Structure 1
């Protein structure tokens, strides 16, 4: 099919949902609409407000089409989420992965889940392992689960709502779910032994066109009835897609948002440590990609509310004064899941700019630690919100000693998702960042590491 010119990307992140319009010729964002991705607290458990999101998506597609004439729709979402369907309805709500409910069946799940050597997926808290979610739902809500006919990973749920076609896809199946065996490109032993294999529809490539919009979607949005919709992709892998084949391997993509996720293409999975939130994601071509991560965006928002761009003087005071944040402020995840986050000073004594500087340096040190697990590429490309944090990028360049650059894609995921329709790879290295020029930073970094030892 011809490459659509105006591609609407549905991008559902854990914090915000967006519809972003990408011009496929220029690879530039043309327009965007966004809304908070709220969690509903009533009912069986905390869950995604899928009907509010659907109303937002339909309204946004209609408005963007009116203004720019949408020619194709692509989809990307956060991971660790699935819709359990009973025919053409939800059998139960779409579980919020931060809900601790799956820990209730944690002991039994530990016996059932596959070994790390098979899944390359570590045991994570709450519902961060999608397999743990389904296991808990199957045992806690027995009658509701008995009605389940299909399990749809999250991008494919929205693709189904748009097209009526159900599919599975490897990037969502392969992101710390316990459901996929990356080395053999098949469902894991957990899926077989729990009798879930028949619940998953046919695996389709992320870049396949599932179909065109349903008649009621066309009527509600004004879109042509032949508007094509892709199968969809996990958001971290959407960030990765423009760079595959565009850099000499190994190289590292740092995808940022709620999470900071380091993925080293062409890296070795041998250094992964399941106890430290490192794992293998699966790229759009089904290949394992060594990955390590922490909740960098969430921690930044917690630790530096009202962030202010630090001056050289602010940075000097933080480094000279040994002002440090130490992991982890989000328990159970990241490379230090068992540590309790703390400061070396009372953070209330810091100005907003000084706090921003200290937290930016903390995120760089955490990222360097992650790279010790998933492997350091010849270069690092930063995607998403942290690409706008100059001090973070400068500190990371100083810590790693490799080329660090920032991507031109401000959303971190939308460009990659739009490329599911095809077109030349565009993963240039972007704007390079000079390493932090501060003689005291090396000692500062060593003190941070020493405190953790």
Structure 2
């Protein structure tokens, strides 16, 4: 039998289950998907009952499998989501979707009590106030659904609820509490004063390190059960554990999130920057982050270029960086793309494509997007002395994106990594006692070094 760690990695769309051996190699995986249901207002939400049934069924099947010996289990999920339990441990409400709109008057009253807004957002590391801040969900419930709120014994973030399903022990941990919840005061390293004034701390379980685990018998088997971890913090963990020097990680996809886990100044200074946010490491240390809707805008603009030049939908995947094209574009550089999901003071009022070849227009597009990415990375570095940059996710294999970033950050050491396991692997590492060495990323993440090109 192989000794394994079991991980449930729960995204909004895909629900995944992995088994990792002692070298963190994937030895088993299983995926599923549930159709959303509706809450009492008709808004789409997670099918919590179906999720719970699937979790238990999958895990109990694995426990019975003759080829695996499960030593530990942990949970990585999306954030900004609470499960509310009554005194009998029963779920009281739907898992309210963090995109669900709430009445602006509730936020206005909240800010009258606990504002001004700029100071509040600074100290809590948030960029707005909505249900994307799970603390606001508690406030909304207290005043919008008081009869329900009175029945709440514990409110658990989703990763901790999944752990609770297996342990029956309600807990809170740093990465979930520290993820744009509006609950945490980064200047005091404690819950914000509003949490105590509203007496919300009474329904928030004991706060523990994310590395905490519960040793218990589950179906007659001795297993170490983790408390769960927020997926963004989980994806960062393998880097923090294996790299000895300071770095910034740029995790790319629909959103490009730049993470600085070594900042001396986690508090947002410029409140005009709505794309700055704070996360928390597993030990409670702050992570400064900036976000850019990079992948979303890329998809919109590339689709337009495909139609404009009459090429196939995957044509862009085969375009490689061309030195001469880049030099030509930069002779009299002009911004030519009007963004649809990004704001930029340099963009024109209309998109203007003066090129006859897709490749030229694509180089122009990537140059402009990378200039936005550079700004986002510089903002997250601030005045910190950081010389290493790691790129993972969807853009790590985009030749133009990588070569342009390597050129513009030629005073830094830039590396790309490739791991579709991301947050799942982080959750496994979090619950493990083993140390990671400097070769971990090379061995498990296809680490690649990149050298900047030189303009003659």
TM-score bracket for the superposition, by shorter chain length:
0.7 to 0.9
Report the secondary structure of 2:208's partner residue: coil
2:341 is the alignment partner of 1:344: no
Instruction: Tell me the number of residue pairs that the alignment of Structure 1 and Structure 2 aligns.
Output: 421
**Inter-partner Cα distance in structure 2 for 1:350 and 1:356:** 9
1:323 and 1:40, CA in 2 relative to 1: closer, same or farther beyond 3 A?
A: farther
Q: Does the C-alpha gap of structure 1 residues 313 and 183 become closer, same or farther in structure 2, counting only changes over 3 Å?
A: closer
The 10-residue stretch of structure 1 (251-260 or 188-197) with the greater mean CA deviation from structure 2: 251-260
Q: For the residues of structure 2 that align with 1:313 and 1:151, how far apart are their CA atoms?
A: 50
1:71 matches 2:71: yes
The counterpart of 2:51, out of the listed 50, 53, 56, is: 53
Q: How far off its partner does 1:230 sit?
A: 0.4
Comparing 199-208 with 111-120, which one deviates more in the overlay? 111-120
- SS in structure 2 opposite 1:136? helix
CA distance in structure 2 between the partners assigned to 1:164 and 1:424 by the alignment: 29
Matches within 5 A, 1:158-237: 158-212=162-216, 214=218, 218=219, 225-237=221-233
DSSP-derived class of the 1:151 partner: strand
Residue 134 of structure 1 pairs with residue 143 of structure 2: no
Q: Could you say which residue in structure 2 is the equivalent of 1:417?
A: 427
* TM-score (norm. length: structure 2): 0.79
Q: Pick one of 319, 325, 350 that aligns with 1:311.
A: 319
For residues 337 and 130 of structure 1, what CA distance do their matches in structure 2 show? 29
Say which SS state the counterpart of residue 244 (structure 1) adopts: helix
Measure how far apart 1:23 and its partner are. 2.0
Q: Contact (CA 8 Å) 2:122, 2:268: kept in 1 or not?
A: no
What CA distance in whole angstroms lies between the structure 2 residues aligned with 1:389 and 1:29? 25
Superposition pairs of residues 53-452 of structure 1, within 5 angstroms: 53-62=51-60, 64=62, 66=65, 68-87=68-87, 88-101=89-102, 103=104, 105-113=106-114, 115-116=119-120, 119-124=123-128, 126-212=130-216, 214=218, 218=219, 225-244=221-240, 246-269=242-265, 272-276=269-273, 277-301=275-299, 303-304=301-302, 307=314, 308-312=316-320, 325-327=337-339, 329=341, 336=343, 344-345=351-352, 364-375=370-381, 377-401=386-410, 402-421=412-431, 422-426=433-437, 428=439, 430=442, 431-434=447-450, 437=453
Higher gyration radius (CA): 2
Shift of 1:172: 0.7
Tell me the secondary structure at the aligned position of residue 287 of structure 2: strand
TM norm structure 1: 0.79
Quote the Cα distance in structure 2 between the aligned partners of 1:313 and 1:397.
Answer: 12
Unaligned runs of 5+ in 2: 304-312
- Matched with 1:18 is 16
Q: Cα deviation per residue 1:253-309 (whole Å; 9 max; x = unaligned)?
A: 223455322111222325643442213321111111211113444445555565541
Q: Which stretch of structure 1 is more off in the superposition, 226-235 or 168-177?
A: 226-235
Shift of 1:117: 7.4
Structure 1's unaligned 5+ residue stretches are 219-223, 331-335, 441-453
Cα-to-partner distance string for 1:423-444 (whole Å, 9 max, x where unaligned): 112465642343574969xxxx
